């Protein structure tokens, strides 16, 4: 089975100059409230979300799935999708892919890039030590997240 080595990590820009991979993982519980998220095509849709704070790095890639045995990722965020630079007002965005159903329907959502913390009450975002992304999951469901910096 192929594994991630330093060459692979370098190709995906997941190494820092000291050749170290920044990685964190954990679980989060899906909250009861849904919020609006902006798709790449400019339309708004309501989804539940996962928010993670207190990371020791800025995430460049995030993977969300609803179980350890899931055969597909629920959400994939990638800074390199557009390489949009973070700003204090989150003016630019990168993309996340959301697998919306069992038919493998995939939607692209805008993920706004903030320097520090987001003040956004809607939309997906990434900041220096946190992220908030949409997910198709039920209230109270446990989501496994992995973040790479």
Within a domain: 92: yes
pLDDT attached to residue 21: 84
CB 47 within 8 A of CB 118: no
Within a domain: 80: yes
Within a domain: 134: yes
Q: Does residue 61 register a pLDDT over 70?
A: yes
Within a domain: 9: no
How far CA 38 is from CA of 11, 29, 51, 135, in Å, comes to: 29, 22, 16, 13
Q: Which of 9-13, 75-79, 97-101, 128-132 has the lowest mean pLDDT?
A: 9-13
Kindly state the average pLDDT of the residues 67-87.
84
Closest by CA to 53, choosing from 123, 125, 122, is: 125
Within a domain: 68: yes
Within a domain: 132: yes
Kindly state the average pLDDT of the residues 68-77.
76
Domain, as residue range, for 94: 37-148
Task: Look up the pTM and report it.
Answer: 0.84
Q: Is 64 left (phi over 0), alpha (psi -120 to 50) or beta?
A: beta
Number of domains within the chain? 1
Within a domain: 61: yes
């Amino acid at each position: 089975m192929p594994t991630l080595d330093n060459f692979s990590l370098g190709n995906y820009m997941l190494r820092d100059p000291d050749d170290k991979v920044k990685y964190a993982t954990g679980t989060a519980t899906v909250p009861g409230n849904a919020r609006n998220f902006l798709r790449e095509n400019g339309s708004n849709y309501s989804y539940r979300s996962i928010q993670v704070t207190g990371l020791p790095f800025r995430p460049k890639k995030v993977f969300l799935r609803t179980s350890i045995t899931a055969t597909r990722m629920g959400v994939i965020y990638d800074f390199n999708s557009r390489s949009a630079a973070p700003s204090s007002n989150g003016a630019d965005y990168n993309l996340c892919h959301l697998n919306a159903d069992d038919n493998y329907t995939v939607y692209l959502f805008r993920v706004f890039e903030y320097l520090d913390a987001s003040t956004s009450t809607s939309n997906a975002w990434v900041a220096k030590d946190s992220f908030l992304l949409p997910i198709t999951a039920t209230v109270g469901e446990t989501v496994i997240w992995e973040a790479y910096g």
